[in-house]
Amino acid sequence: MVLPTRPEKMRKGFQMYDLGKDPTESIDISAEFPERFERMKAALDASATDGRITLDLELVFGHCWGGGPKMDPLNYRIDAEQIPIRRN
- DSSP class of 6: S
pLDDT (average), residues 44-54 = 80
Collect all residues with Cβ–Cβ distance below 8 Å to 9 and sequence separation of at least 6.
Answer: 15, 25
**Burial group, residue 1, by CB count within 10 angstroms (0-12, 13-18, 19+):** middle
Indicate the pLDDT class of residue 69, thresholds 50, 70 and 90. Answer: low
Question: Residue 1's pLDDT is what?
Answer: 46
Neighbours of 37 (CB within 10 A): 19
Share of the chain above pLDDT 90, in %: 14
Question: Residue 32's pLDDT is what?
Answer: 94
Q: Does residue 69 or residue 28 have the better pLDDT?
A: 28
Residue 22 has pLDDT above 80, yes or no: yes
Q: Are 1 and 30 in contact (CB under 8 A)?
A: no
d(CA 28, CA 62): 26
